[in-house]
Amino acid sequence: MRMANKVGLVTAGASGMGRAGAITFAREGAAVAVVDINPEGAAAVAREIIDAGGQAIALSGDLRDDAFAGDIVKRTVAAFGGLDFAWNHVGHPGPSSFEGIDMKDYELAMDINVRSVFVTASHAVPEMRVRGGGALLFTASTSGIVGSPYSPVYSAAKFGVIGMTKSLAKRYAGENIRVNAVCPGTTDTPMLRVFVARPDMQLPPGETAESLVRKRAGLNPMKRPAQPQEIANAALFLLSDEASFITGVALAVDGGSTA
Ligand SMILES: NC(=O)c1ccc[n+]([C@@H]2O[C@H](COP(=O)([O-])OP(=O)(O)OC[C@H]3O[C@@H](n4cnc5c(N)ncnc54)[C@H](O)[C@@H]3O)[C@@H](O)[C@H]2O)c1
């Protein structure tokens, strides 16, 4: 088992890639805290893990709240005795607007994409130090590698997440704490529908969220969206000891779209 005896947390764990990751890490032997604003969703994923013979707890709250974003580390340690890894996966599409933008939309996207993961990571590091090392993983996006023309705030945030990753990787390499980012391309989750049909994106006549999802997915060389499990597989590798000499990378899992 690739995560035997490890303890970790996954934010945005009730759905999509986070759910796939939590279930995968648990299947590989980890005890996992499933963190999400959706209490029923988080509880269902934890229940699924426990029913399959694994170890999990559900932690429910809004990661925009600094106290909760830090507390999830303490509560994971209290439940399982330490912390070896954290997948800071939560994110938000943000507005499409630029000219005339409502700055409340900007703040919401920055708070979820950058601030909340920063806070969680800052609480995770001391606990990893106690264990003699650990692995942090952030979820950026291909929009953090190349500019996304209709998502200036999202791109700014995800480029920021990659900057944070590289800074922390250098800062903590000497303490055996590895810090990496995974950069999904178009991935088949509920957020993808929200992303393509944001209220301030005018859908072209005749298009629906679903038709735009298909078009967008068709733009990458593999001509399909990623499945959540394909991102979870990359997360598993980066968080496991198999990636023991890998730190500071932003790994695109995008069917070749940024090649
Ligand atoms: N789906 C894509 O195409 C895509 C591509 C690149 C990057 N991403 C990134 O992947 C991450 C998650 O996306 P997904 O597609 O797996 O999403 P998803 O829609 O499947 O799940 C998102 C989860 O986050 C939870 N959540 C939202 N706001 C929260 C908050 N404030 N506090 C706690 N939980 C909260 C939701 O309840 C939901 O369960 C984000 O960081 C996103 O930017 C997604």
What average pLDDT does the segment 55-74 reach?
98
Does the annotation count 106 as an active-site position?
A: no
How many residues belong to the chain? 259
Q: How far apart are CA 165 and CA 182, in angstroms?
A: 10
For ligand 1, the distance from its centroid to the CA atom of residue 161, given in whole angstroms, is 14
Interval 31-63: pLDDT, tens: 999 999 999 999 999 999 999 999 999 999 999
**Nearest atom within ligand 1 for CA of residue 228:** 16
Counting residues of the chain whose pLDDT is more than 70, the rounded percentage is: 100
For ligand 1, the distance from its centroid to the CA atom of residue 220, given in whole angstroms, is 21
Ligand 1: list residues with CB < 6 Å: 12, 14-18, 36-38, 41, 62-64, 89-91, 112, 139, 141, 184, 186-187, 189-192
Q: How far apart are CA 123 and CA 44, in angstroms?
A: 26
Distances (CA, A) of 150 to 159, 192, 253: 15, 14, 21
Q: Choose which CATH entry (3.10.450.50, 3.40.640.10, 3.40.50.720, 3.20.20.100) describes domain 7-188+227-253.
A: 3.40.50.720
pLDDT band at 250 (very low <50, low <70, confident <90, very high): very high
240 pLDDT exceeds 80?
yes
For ligand 1, the distance from its centroid to the CA atom of residue 133, given in whole angstroms, is 27
Q: What is the pLDDT of residue 213?
A: 83
pLDDT band at 126 (very low <50, low <70, confident <90, very high): very high
Counting residues of the chain whose pLDDT is more than 90, the rounded percentage is: 87
Angle value at C-alpha 147, between 142 and 150, nearest 5 degrees: 100
Interval 173-221: pLDDT, tens: 999 999 999 999 999 998 888 888 888 877 777 888 788 888 888 889 9
Asked whether the beta carbons of 252 and 196 are under 8 A apart, the reply is no
**Nearest atom within ligand 1 for CA of residue 187:** 3
Q: What is the pLDDT of residue 22?
A: 99
Question: Which member of 106, 150, 154, 172 is catalytic?
Answer: 154
**Nearest atom within ligand 1 for CA of residue 139:** 41
Q: What is the pLDDT of residue 217?
A: 84
Q: What is the pLDDT of residue 215?
A: 85
